[in-house]
Structure 1
Amino acid sequence: MDLATMTGMLVQGFGTTLALFALTLVGSIPLGVPIALARMSRFRPLALLARAFISVLRGTPLMLQMFAIYFAPFYVFGIELTPASKWQACVVAFIVNYAAYFAEIYRSGIQSVPRGQYEAAEVLGYSSSQTFFRIVLPQVVKKVLPSMGNEIITLVKDTSLAFSIGVAEMFSTAKALVASQVSMAPFAIAAVLYWVFNFIVELALGAVEKKLDYYHD
């Protein structure tokens, strides 16, 4: 098999990688907000539940979570697994796992906003929701962006874990090609694709961070 054919197969697998990456971000970034707010809630049972959720999701391997979500419908509820079940389990596992990480990042960002900001908003007559979305949130976004960027870049590489439950993303394609062609070239091409995409993500995050420079500490 020539290099062009191998590259084409890897690019096709990279499409699955990108789909998993995009769906994880779309699901986990907003999901992390209510989890973070629950974690900081004064209603202790809710705060403890959110804390337990974050602890379990961050304290157990993502691969194990994928297997649990994939097999639970069959072993717990007797629901037959379908070919689509692997992809669905993979997406759900990635979303809830990264939501737990993002929730802790959000929490640290929210708690870093000085109390005086809330008091000033109250004096100006802002409601709690107005204070959060107009005053607190823009500052939090700027504060947490570097940490978010690290997690997003890690996510690009973590998508390779999807092969463990049979989702044919780029890494699993590269492994199959290495075995069939007895060549390290597929791994090298995959590494370049991962790096190029991560570099693009870094540039995008840098551009967003630059736009937020008008929020000074």
Structure 2
Amino acid sequence: MSYEYISTILKPMLEGAQATILLFLIAIIVSIPLGFLLTLAVRSSFKLLSRLASGYIYVMRGTPLLLQLLVICFGLPMLPVVGDYLVLDRFVAACLGFILNYTAYFAEIYRGGLLAIDKGQYEAAQVLGLNKTQTTIRIILPQMFRIALPSVANESITLVKDTALLYAVAVPELLHFAQTAVNRDFTIVPYFIAGIIYLVMTLVLTIFFKWLEKRFKYDRE
């Protein structure tokens, strides 16, 4: 294929990649802190809150993300009485679906990080005279984030690839424009270009999280 053809299809694909990146940023920025709050809810001494949070995680992790997106985009507006109030812009609905799903996954990652911290850390904090809040902020949370960081990195890379599901709910993004070019021009070149763009995005994320891991390592030393 000529350079002219590649440059022709590259422009709309890069425009689609903007929607992909925007969805990723919104989902990651919102779901990471929400995941931590959900972890606290699971560990809460208030049994009802803990059970509701655990049930939420079970449902969101136990059902496909695509199914959740379809329910939010097309299912909720079909509900009687309230359906008319639940009609959302497709991109907004997709953002909501990704946030709800990845909040559950990040919550489990944080829970694993907390469980990996030795109980002696809590006892040592008591010996030093730290209260529960000081222990959590100064000792527990830094260790939890350090332990959870590799898993957070992997889940973030998975999120980039999962943004391709936008195609299934008719949101114009990278894969949508690649598929349009394939159908129009009867060539698989757009697929390869889309793959390269995804690889570039995941490479940037990988470099960023490697830098974070080194930063945490140096801070610990």
Unaligned runs of 5+ in 2: none
Residue 15 (structure 1) aligned with residue 18 (structure 2): yes
Distance 2:188 2:148 in 1: 38
In 2, the alpha carbon distance for the partners of 1:73 and 1:97 equals 16
Q: How does 1:26-41 map to 2 (within 5 A)?
A: 26-41=29-44
Q: Counterpart of 1:9 in 2: which secondary structure?
A: helix
Where 1:79 maps in the other structure, the secondary structure is: helix
Q: Give 1:206's match in structure 2, choosing from 207, 210, 215.
A: 210
The secondary structure found in structure 2 opposite 1:167 is coil
- Residue range with higher mean Cα deviation, 33-42 or 155-164: 33-42
What SS is found at the alignment partner of 1:120?
helix
Partner AA of 1:176 in structure 2: T
Task: Give the CA RMSD over aligned residues.
Answer: 1.7
Q: What CA distance in whole angstroms lies between the structure 2 residues aligned with 1:72 and 1:148?
A: 30
The Cα shift of 1:128 comes to 1.8
> Normalization by structure 1: what TM-score?
0.94
The aligned residue for residue 188 of structure 2 is 184
> 1:1-217 maps to which residues of 2 (within 5 A)?
2-76=5-79, 77-79=82-84, 85-214=89-218
SS in 1 for 2:172: coil
The 4+ residue runs of structure 1 with deviation greater than 3 A are 214-217
* Runs of 5+ consecutive residues of structure 1 not aligned to the other structure: none
Q: How many residues align?
A: 216
1:33–1:185 distance in 2 versus 1, CA, 3 Å: same
Map Cα deviations across residues 122-151 of structure 1 (whole Å, 9 max, x no partner): 232323222111111111111111111110
Q: Give the alignment's TM-score, normalised by structure 2.
A: 0.92
Specify the SS of the correspondent of 1:125: coil
